[in-house]
Amino acid sequence: MVNDKLKDFFDRKVAEYNQPFFIKDDPISIPHGFTNRQDKEISGFFAAILAWGNRTSIINSCNRLMALMEKQPHQFVLNFEETDLKPFSGFVHRTFNDTDLFYFLKVLQFHYRQNESLESAFAKWMNDGDKDTENALNGFYRYFFSIDSDFPRRTQKHIAAPFKKSACKRINMFLRWMVRRDKSGVDFAIWKNINPSQLVCPIDVHVARVAKRFNLVSRNQTDWEAALELTSNLKKLDPFDPVKYDFALFGLGVMEKF
């Protein structure tokens, strides 16, 4: 139930976990290793896409990938040729493998050779008056797989979209990293064409479990509708920055095993 007591509790949990100490052991530490905007975007995108499983394993896989790019992801993406991809052969993180990686790199090269920022790959699909990022995510999915009609079909499972009924947890997390604005130093606030109020809260089984304990989600499925329901209730706590409560939900679910 959304009330002042819940808001006070959640605000305290946000203040507890939305702190620099959070960065070190989280996948967001990967983009924090860079200062260049495009490097943050590319490394953050891969960190989010690979963000399933043990956090240590995620960070190790991301560090390995960044090392293969000589820790200059933007320059690598802009300039790589086919022969430069040989060292990436055999890369794997859970079900994400080198076939997927090669297509991801191809799409990123196509995009960055025409655009300054990855933000346009999402924001350009949004309409005036959009309350959330559903159009951005659906548009990004279609754009991502329009670059080459012969894309590997297996790679589709690594990009979520609302029209596929997915909760889009990892993409929503990436957007939170890029968009949210505060003074804590965790999220980056480098994208300006998506408003924090339009973000949709990342939801997985851990977040859903906590959300149900507080009657913030009623659906049994952890899907797009559940993500929207959760976000709608979080907007009752803060309509301008509802996704800051991702820190509270994650902290309670993963750190405190609530």
Q: What is the pLDDT along the chain (258 residues), one digit of tens a residue?
A: 578 899 999 999 999 999 999 999 999 999 999 999 999 999 999 999 999 889 999 999 999 999 999 999 999 999 999 999 999 999 999 999 999 999 999 999 999 999 999 999 999 999 999 999 999 999 999 999 999 999 999 999 999 999 999 999 999 999 999 999 999 999 999 999 999 999 999 999 889 999 999 999 999 999 999 999 999 999 999 999 999 999 999 999 887 877
The total number of residues shown for the chain amounts to 258
> Domain limits at 134?
4-255
pLDDT given at position 15: 97
Return contacts of 108-115, CB within 8 angstroms, 24+ apart: 108/42, 108/45, 108/77, 109/77, 109/78, 109/80, 110/147, 112/38, 112/74, 112/77, 112/78, 113/78
Task: Tell me the C-alpha distance between 19 and 13, whole Å.
Answer: 11
First-residue to last-residue Cα distance in the chain: 17
Q: What is the dihedral of CA 124, 128, 133, 136, to 10 degrees?
A: -20
Is residue 189 a contact partner of residue 180, using CB atoms and an 8 Å limit?
Answer: yes
For residue 219, is it left (φ>0), alpha (ψ between -120 and 50) or beta? beta
Task: Tell me the C-alpha distance between 35 and 33, whole Å.
Answer: 7
- Phi, psi for residue 20 in degrees, rounded to 5: -55, -30
pTM summary value: 0.96
CB-count burial class (<10 Å; 0-12, 13-18, 19+) for 48: buried
Is residue 102 a contact partner of residue 82, using CB atoms and an 8 Å limit?
Answer: no
How big, in percent rounded to 5, are the helix, strand and coil portions of the chain? 60, 0, 40
pLDDT given at position 32: 98
pLDDT given at position 1: 59
* Total domain count, the chain: 1
